[in-house]
């Protein structure tokens, strides 16, 4: 029986240029995807763009172009960034694609036939910025912009019908919403009355969307449309073999500000269609600048492409994964970025690669030396590396990415200490067998540590592994490195960032 793994990012709104928040979620999904793939899983990683809605229609109108043309101009910005950051997504879905529209209309038809959609007149406050109706209480918070009072007939989804069933599912599945604080937040939200969801917009007000299959005068509400991407991309109602193989998703990853749509709207929609719910919905925190959330209106948005161009994509990936505890907010500063890079990558990792490769080149003609009998220090070293290896693997599997990185980089530090204690550059003349064993074990531990760091920093770790004739999917037990294997000497793989 094959092991499969399905991870998604939210589909990002096409009107936003990619920023550090988009990059973080996508890198996180990529890290998990790479981790499971090198551990033998058949993985599928989905990302993409949400291209319908009023804001897209208005942005296109201002430019005097069609909405699809506006979307087509935005798509390359995301694809370019994902390429730059070495994102290995299996699919990139756009909600304007026919394959997606067909599934949206199929779901709408199912829900309508089940009696879970009705038409009603509604009068209330509408937030143009959020593209949804809001309550008086929400309007008072000041979190919503461009609010106007609207009275119109629309179609509603009987979301309230599934409230009790959803609460029961959340309470009986501890890992359905993570972290626990977000689970409690949603249960608190569901303790109040749950309104039905308005799932249409009249074409006279908004024409840019997927037409309702049962009323050509209306288009689908952008969130009802967008959430369905998670099943349309893997073949729902088209390629049932593929769909049944990958669904339910292992992880829906997102920032905490879209928690309600994913933990309330989406599950109730699936319940209406008798489709299994995703295994885990994980909401991470925000990246802050000076303890303030990054936003376009404040002008404090970090452009990830600029950082990747200046410092390399691996440096950016490492910092973002290492400096945010999943579920909590984290602060971004250029100073902390440079310090983290210099301490972990340049000083610890980069210097270790230089040290080992120079020892092999200088004393063993670019060939991995043959190991000899292990002494007590060698055995202790192997045992400590194995403990850190096992901890790191467990961390990654339990979404403790920052801990996984710390345990992986601790292997690198342990090798440096082992070399200092053994000093093979001194013992090479008087006890060559001991020096050979020291260098072999150091190179082998470097291989293991490098494989553990591969999901985080794939570009540079691949270079190291290729140079020692290894790969990210190789066995990470001791003794796999081939003796007398010629290696390609590489130097200065993580140059220091100068002040």
Region 90-111 average pLDDT: 98
Q: Is pLDDT above 50 for 35?
A: yes
Q: Where are the beta strands (DSSP E) in 258-320?
A: 281-284, 287-289, 292-293
Residues 6+ apart with CB under 8 A from 240: none
Residues 6+ apart with CB under 8 A from 445: 381, 382, 385, 411, 414, 415, 418, 478
Q: Is pLDDT above 50 for 143?
A: yes
Tell me, what's the pLDDT at 1?
43
Tell me, what's the pLDDT at 98?
98
**Percentage of the chain with pLDDT > 90?**
82
Region 120-137 average pLDDT: 79
Count of other CB atoms within 10 angstroms of residue 461: 21
Query: pLDDT grade, residue 498 (50/70/90)?
Result: confident
Q: What is the pLDDT of residues 435-473, one digit of tens each?
A: 999 999 999 999 999 999 999 999 999 999 999 999 999
Residue 469 Cα distances to 157, 381, 437, 445, angstroms: 57, 23, 19, 15
Q: What is the pLDDT of residues 238-277, one digit of tens each?
A: 999 999 999 999 999 999 999 999 999 999 999 999 999 9
Tell me, what's the pLDDT at 128?
72
Q: Is pLDDT above 90 for 430?
A: no
Alpha-carbon distance of 278 to 235, in angstroms, equals: 16
Beta carbons of 117 and 199 less than 8 angstroms apart = yes
Beta carbons of 210 and 219 less than 8 angstroms apart = yes
Alpha-carbon distance of 268 to 121, in angstroms, equals: 22
Beta pairing partners, 148: 126
Region 315-324 average pLDDT: 95
Q: Is pLDDT above 70 for 85?
A: yes
Mean pLDDT value across the chain: 93
Least confident of 189-193, 237-241, 297-301, 392-396: 297-301
**Percentage of the chain with pLDDT > 70?**
97
Region 50-72 average pLDDT: 94
The gap from C-alpha 106 to its chain's centroid, in whole angstroms, comes to 29
Residues 6+ apart with CB under 8 A from 6: 43, 44, 46, 234, 246, 247, 248, 249, 250, 251
Q: Where are the beta strands (DSSP E) in 128-238?
A: 132-134, 147-157, 177-178, 197-198, 200-202, 211-212, 215-220
Least confident of 196-210, 299-313, 329-343, 478-492: 299-313
What b-and-e string marks burial along 77-110, b requiring 16 or more CB atoms within 10 Å of the CB? ebeebbebbbbebeebbbbbbeebbebbbbbbeb
Q: Is pLDDT above 70 for 21?
A: yes
Q: Is pLDDT above 50 for 86?
A: yes
Q: Is pLDDT above 90 for 148?
A: no
Query: pLDDT grade, residue 293 (50/70/90)?
Result: low
Place of tokens 């440079």: 338
Residues 6+ apart with CB under 8 A from 395: 401, 403, 404, 407
Beta carbons of 131 and 54 less than 8 angstroms apart = yes
Q: Is pLDDT above 90 for 491?
A: no
Place of tokens 């009705």: 118
Region 268-287 average pLDDT: 96
Place of tokens 């220090």: 377
Tell me, what's the pLDDT at 62?
93
């Amino acid at each position: 029986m094959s092991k499969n793994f399905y991870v998604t990012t939210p589909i990002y709104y096409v009107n936003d240029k990619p920023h550090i928040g988009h990059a973080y979620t996508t890198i996180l999904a990529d890290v998990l995807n790479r981790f499971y793939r090198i551990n033998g899983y058949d993985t599928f990683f989905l990302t993409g763009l949400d291209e319908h809605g009023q804001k897209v229609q208005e942005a296109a109108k201002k430019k005097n172009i069609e909405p699809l043309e506006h979307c087509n101009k935005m798509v390359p910005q995301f694809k370019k960034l994902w390429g730059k950051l070495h994102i290995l997504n299996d699919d990139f879905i756009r909600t304007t694609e026919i394959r997606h529209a067909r599934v949206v209309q199929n779901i709408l038809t199912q829900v309508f036939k089940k009696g879970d959609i009705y038409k009603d007149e509604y009068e209330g406050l509408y937030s143009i910025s959020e593209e949804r109706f809001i309550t008086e209480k929400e309007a008072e918070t000041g979190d919503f912009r461009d609010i106007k009072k609207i009275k119109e007939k629309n179609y509603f989804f009987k979301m309230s019908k599934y409230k009790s069933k959803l609460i029961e599912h959340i309470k009986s599945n501890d890992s359905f919403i993570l972290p626990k604080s977000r689970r409690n937040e949603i249960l608190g939200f569901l303790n109040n009355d749950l309104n039905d969801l308005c799932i249409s917009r009249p074409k006279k007000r908004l024409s840019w969307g997927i037409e309702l299959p049962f009323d050509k005068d209306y288009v689908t509400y952008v969130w009802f449309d967008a959430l369905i991407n998670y099943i349309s991309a893997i073949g729902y109602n088209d390629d049932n073999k593929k769909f049944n193989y990958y669904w339910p998703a292992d992880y829906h990853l997102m920032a905490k500000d879209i928690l309600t749509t994913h933990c309330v709207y989406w599950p109730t929609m699936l319940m209406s269609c008798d489709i299994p719910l995703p295994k885990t919905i994980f909401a991470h925190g925000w990246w802050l600048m000076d303890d303030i959330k990054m936003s376009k209106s404040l002008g404090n948005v970090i452009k990830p492409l600029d950082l990747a161009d200046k410092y390399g994509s691996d440096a950016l990936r490492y910092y973002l994964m290492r400096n945010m505890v999943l579920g909590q907010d984290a602060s971004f500063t250029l100073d902390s970025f440079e310090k983290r890079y210099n301490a972990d990558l340049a000083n610890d990792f980069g210097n270790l690669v230089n040290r080992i490769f120079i020892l092999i080149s200088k004393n063993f003609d670019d060939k991995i030396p043959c190991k000899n009998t292990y002494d007590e220090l060698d055995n202790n070293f192997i045992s400590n590396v194995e403990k850190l290896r096992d901890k790191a693997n467990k961390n990654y599997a339990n979404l403790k990415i920052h801990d996984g990185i710390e345990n992986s980089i601790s292997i690198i530090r342990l090798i440096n200490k082992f070399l200092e204690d053994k000093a093979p550059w001194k013992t090479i003349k008087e006890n060559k067998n001991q020096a050979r064993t020291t260098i072999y074990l150091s190179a082998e531990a470097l291989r293991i540590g490098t494989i553990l760091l591969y999901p985080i920093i794939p570009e540079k770790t691949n270079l190291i592994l290729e140079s020692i004739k290894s790969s990210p999917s190789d066995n990470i037990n001791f003794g796999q490195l081939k003796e007398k294997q010629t290696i390609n000497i590489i130097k200065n793989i993580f140059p220091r960032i100068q002040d």
